[in-house]
Amino acid sequence: MEKKELIQKQIEKSLEILKKLPDDRKFFINTGVLLVEVSKKEAEEYLKKELEGLRGNTPH
């Protein structure tokens, strides 16, 4: 499996798990330099944007 496909599957699985978790749960996004605390909604938006970028739907 290609690395890009593997990342897409990981993001899709993460989105599935995220939807099952409580809304008040804290999430963290690793930017490569910083670990940023985000809300569930922000985490979903970030992952969806990353997924769209991998699929070539938006500039990444």
pLDDT > 90 fraction of the chain, expressed in percent and rounded: 83
Q: How far apart are CA 38 and CA 29, in angstroms?
A: 7
Which pair of tokens denotes residue 3?
Answer: 């690395």
Q: Which residues contact 28 (CB under 8 A, 6 or more apart)?
A: 35, 36, 37, 38
Q: What is the pLDDT of residues 15-28, one digit of tens each?
A: 999 999 999 999 99
Q: Please name every residue paired with 36 in a beta bridge, in sequence order, or none if there are none.
A: 29
Greater pLDDT, 58 or 19: 19
Task: Quote the pTM value.
Answer: 0.81
DSSP structure class, residue 24 = T
pLDDT value of position 58 = 59
Q: Region 34-54: what's the mean pLDDT?
A: 95
Q: How far apart are CA 20 and CA 11, in angstroms?
A: 15
Residue written as token pair 């969806």: 48
pLDDT higher than 80, residue 48: yes
**Which domains does the chain possess?**
3-55 (1.10.287.370)
